[in-house]
């Protein structure tokens, strides 16, 4: 799978650990930065990852900031993106099963590498359940269309 990863300075270490973990598992990991501990702004990296996923250049995005919150808000501003902050295996599994998330976000200040590794494994091993969740995803898509109409 082609996976785009991105973080601000506060998510740099966890982004690197998760990227290496996924590359070691055979995934093609595209690191969109940041690459140093210099202070940067999380919206820039949420937007980068979201844009690559929305364009179909990566099948999944992983975003990391201090809490996972700011970068998830940024990624969700990109039309077609369903970015979910996950904290554990259960929230990761449900982000796929119910929300069919295409960007998974972590907070380096909130979660250990070990738990985030287990969470991303759970996400990758889960499937979208479809059924009653389809019309809800369609409603999210309609919100994107509303926004596009206003641009
Ligand atoms: C950076 O200090 C921090 O605010 C950022 O990484 C993130 O946690 C924001 O949501």
Q: Is 75 in the pocket of ligand 1 (CB under 6 A)?
A: no
Tell me if 6 CB under 6 Å of ligand 1.
no
Instruction: State residue 62's pLDDT score.
Output: 99
**What tokens were used for 21?**
């973990």
What's the pLDDT at 97? 98
CATH class, domain 2-150, is: alpha beta
Q: What is the pLDDT of residue 150?
A: 74
Catalytic annotation, pick one of 9, 63, 65, 105 = 65
Q: Is 98 a catalytic residue?
A: yes
List of residues 6+ apart from 74 with CB closer than 8 A: 42, 43, 44, 45, 46, 47, 50, 63
The domain spans of the chain are: 2-150
Active site residue 105: no
Q: Can you give the pLDDT at residue 151?
A: 67
Cα 5-98-84 angle, rounded to 5 deg: 30
**With a 6 A CB cut-off, is 8 part of the ligand 1 pocket?**
yes
The verdict on the CB of residue 69 being under 6 Å from ligand 1 is yes
Regions of the chain short of the pLDDT cut 50: none
Structure confidence at residue 147 (pLDDT): 81
Q: Whose CA is nearest to atom 7 of ligand 1?
A: 66
Q: What is the pLDDT of residue 120?
A: 98
Ligand 1 atom index nearest CA of 107: 8
Give the pLDDT of residue 55. 98
> pLDDT (tens digit, 9 = 90+) per residue, 101-113?
999 999 999 999 9
Torsion angle, alpha carbons of 24, 26, 29, 34, to 10:
-10
């Amino acid at each position: 799978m082609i996976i785009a990863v991105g973080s601000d300075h506060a998510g740099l270490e966890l982004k690197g650990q998760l990227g290496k973990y996924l590359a070691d598992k055979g995934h093609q990991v595209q690191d969109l930065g940041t690459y140093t501990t210099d202070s940067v702004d999380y919206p820039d990296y949420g937007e980068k990852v979201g844009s690559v996923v929305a364009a179909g250049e990566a099948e999944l995005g992983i975003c990391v900031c201090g809490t996972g919150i700011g970068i998830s808000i940024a990624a969700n501003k990109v039309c077609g993106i369903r970015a979910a902050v996950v904290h554990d295996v259960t929230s990761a599994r449900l982000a796929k099963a119910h929300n069919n998330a295409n960007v998974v976000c972590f907070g380096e200040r909130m979660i250990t590498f070990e738990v985030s590794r287990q969470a991303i494994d759970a996400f990758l091993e889960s499937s979208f359940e479809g059924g009653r969740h389809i019309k809800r995803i369609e409603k999210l898509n309609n919100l994107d269309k509303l926004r596009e109409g206003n641009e």
